[in-house]
Amino acid sequence: MGSLPAALKRGAASVDHLDHADEACFAELAAGRTVACLVPGSNYFLAKPYPPARRLLDAGAAVALATDFNPGTCPCWDMRTIISIACTQMKMTPAEALVSATINGAHAAGLGATHGSLEVGKAADLVCHDAEDWRETAYWFGAPKIRWTMKRREIAREAA
């Protein structure tokens, strides 16, 4: 629809949805700093085709995942569900989905220098999931399995 070339021309931090993106722009997207922010929960809820995550990744583009939480098109705020959809429906690996939901998401929001990864000096906003292996994040969906949540280095909520 023309939004991807316009965003790339203007050096946008991110471009959202990309459900109908022109594949001819993928190499330019991969060569720049613009992050492709995909919101597969909306596609799921509206029964629409999913964005081309696999083709974007194979082209070398940075992909982020987000919920697009809103009452009209995506009443889901559970990132585990979004990660599961990304893996099962958009053919992302669990590692790609985790990177997309963390550091790439932070970069899409312009916060990559301070958020999105476990590094000294970065904000410690974390969610600890009840899992034996990190790849389970992509497997279990639909029921909360959170042990605790940390905001700014402080435990904000612990599971009962």
pLDDT along the chain (160 residues), means of 10: 87 92 92 96 96 97 96 93 96 97 96 94 88 87 81 84
Kindly report the CATH number assigned to the domain that includes residue 72. Answer: 3.20.20.140
Q: Does 48 map to a domain? A: yes
Strand partners, 36: 15, 63
Q: At a CB cut-off of 8 Å and minimum separation 6, what does 124 contact?
A: 150, 152, 153
Q: What is the DSSP letter of 70?
A: B
pLDDT at residue 96 in the model:
98
Question: How does pLDDT run across 95-115, given as a tens digit for each residue?
Answer: 999 999 999 999 999 999 999
Q: What is the pLDDT of residue 158?
A: 87
Q: How high is the pLDDT of residue 86? A: 97
Tracing tokens 């639909």 back to the chain, one arrives at: 142
Count how many domains the chain has.
1
| pTM to 2 decimal places | 0.91
DSSP at 11: T
Q: Residue 49 in contact with residue 109, Cβ under 8 Å?
A: no
Q: Which domain holds residue 37?
A: 3-116
pLDDT in tens, 73-103: 999 989 999 999 999 999 999 999 999 999 9
Q: Rounded to the nearest 10 degrees, how much is the dihedral formed by the CA atoms of 126, 132, 136, 140? A: -90
Residue 23 covered by a domain: yes
| Residue 76 forms part of a structural domain | yes
16 in any annotated domain? yes
In-domain check, residue 41: yes
**Within 10 Å of residue 72's Cβ, how many Cβ atoms?**
9
Q: What are the angstrom distances between the C-alpha of 155 and each of 55, 111, 119, 137?
A: 38, 21, 18, 20
